[in-house]
């Protein structure tokens, strides 16, 4: 058995550490968590992650949660993968962490409102939550679109874990009817991501997990708005 397990579900933000581990060339096992069966809230899983969320990374027998923490840890542990650019000083490193927090703490909650508005409101109000989520996301997509002017990645020519995070955000809201046509550079960024062998390997893992859920009749489809 591999020394590293990534607890994940297909389509979730666990794609981000999956891409990072692939980029770092690490041997790891993906452990499928069946949301439809409430496995993420089971006592066994909550021993690893009391918050009942994916991703949860178990490395050398130790569990680590939260994407920002997982990415910064993997960056320290596998520096040759350059998951984060080199930082000249503490301020530069803190700014990179701020960028990752922008994904986890600002963008991700809006993603959830767009993808699963019914989590936050009655069925009757779901459309309004979705619209407000889209309008909040538009401001931040404009920021990202501007940042990608004349540069392929968030940090210029250097790919980083930040790009994996942005990729997941884009993919998730595009699939939830958010109009991405005003953001062609961000769309191109996604296409560049999908050309990366590590991203393709992460996708193979997700497809296998999705096929498993389908075979078990456990795929999740959010209710229509």
Ligand X SMILES: N[C@@H](CCC(=O)N[C@@H](CS)C(=O)NCC(=O)O)C(=O)O
Please say which residue, 54 or 114, places its beta carbon nearer to ligand X: 54
Question: In angstroms, what is the minimal distance from the CB of 20 to ligand X?
Answer: 12
Is 110 one of the binding residues for ligand X (CB under 6 A)?
no
User: Measuring CA to CA, how many Å separate 212 from each of 34, 38, 168, 201?
Assistant: 10, 16, 21, 17
CA distances to 109, 203, 211 from 116, rounded to whole Å, are 10, 22, 22
Q: Least separation, in Å, of the C-beta of 89 and ligand X?
A: 26
CB of 161 to ligand X, least distance (A): 12
- Whose tokens are 């560049």? That residue is 192
Work out how close the CB of 100 gets to ligand X at its nearest, in angstroms, rounded to a whole number. 9
Structural contact between residues 70 and 55, judged by C-beta atoms closer than 8 angstroms: yes
By beta-carbon proximity to ligand X, the closer residue of 147 and 172 is: 172
Q: How far is CA 131 from CA 43, 94, 110, 162, in A?
A: 36, 33, 11, 26
Q: Which of residues 15-74 bind ligand X (CB under 6 A)?
A: 40, 53-55, 66-67
- Residue 54 phi/psi, 5-degree rounding, is -110, 150
Query: What Å distances lie between residue 90 and 5, 86, 87, 94, 223, CA to CA?
Result: 30, 11, 7, 6, 45
Q: By CB under 6 A, name the one of 13, 164, 166, 176 that touches ligand X.
A: 13
Q: Which residues inside 129-158 make contact with ligand X, applying CB under 6 A? A: none
- x-or-dash pattern for ligand X, window 156-185, by CB under 6 A? ------------------------------
Minimum Å gap between C-beta 167 and ligand X is 14
Residue 12 found at the interface with ligand X (CB under 6 A): yes
- For ligand X, the binding residues (CB under 6 A) are 12-13, 40, 53-55, 66-67, 104
């Amino acid at each position: 058995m591999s020394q590293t397990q990534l607890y994940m579900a297909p389509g979730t933000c666990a794609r981000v550490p999956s891409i990072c581990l692939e980029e770092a060339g690490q041997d790891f096992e993906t452990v499928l968590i069946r949301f439809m069966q409430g496995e993420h809230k089971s006592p066994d899983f909550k021993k690893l992650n009391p918050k009942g969320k994916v991703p949860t990374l178990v490395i050398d027998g130790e569990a680590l949660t939260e994407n920002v923490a997982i990415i910064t840890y993997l960056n320290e542990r596998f520096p040759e993968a350059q998951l984060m650019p080199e930082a000249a000083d503490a301020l530069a490193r803190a700014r990179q962490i701020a960028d990752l927090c922008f994904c986890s703490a600002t963008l991700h909650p809006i993603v959830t409102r767009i993808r699963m508005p019914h989590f936050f409101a009655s069925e009757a109000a779901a459309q309004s939550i979705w619209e407000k989520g889209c309008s909040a996301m538009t401001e931040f997509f404009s920021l990202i679109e501007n940042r990608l002017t004349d540069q392929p990645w968030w940090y210029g020519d250097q790919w980083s874990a930040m790009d994996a995070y942005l990729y997941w955000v884009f993919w998730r809201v595009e699939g939830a009817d958010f109009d991405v046509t005003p953001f062609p550079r961000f769309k191109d960024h996604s296409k560049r991501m999908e050309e990366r062998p590590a991203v393709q390997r992460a996708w193979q893992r997700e497809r296998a997990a999705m096929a498993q859920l389908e075979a078990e009749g456990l795929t999740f489809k959010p209710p229509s708005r």
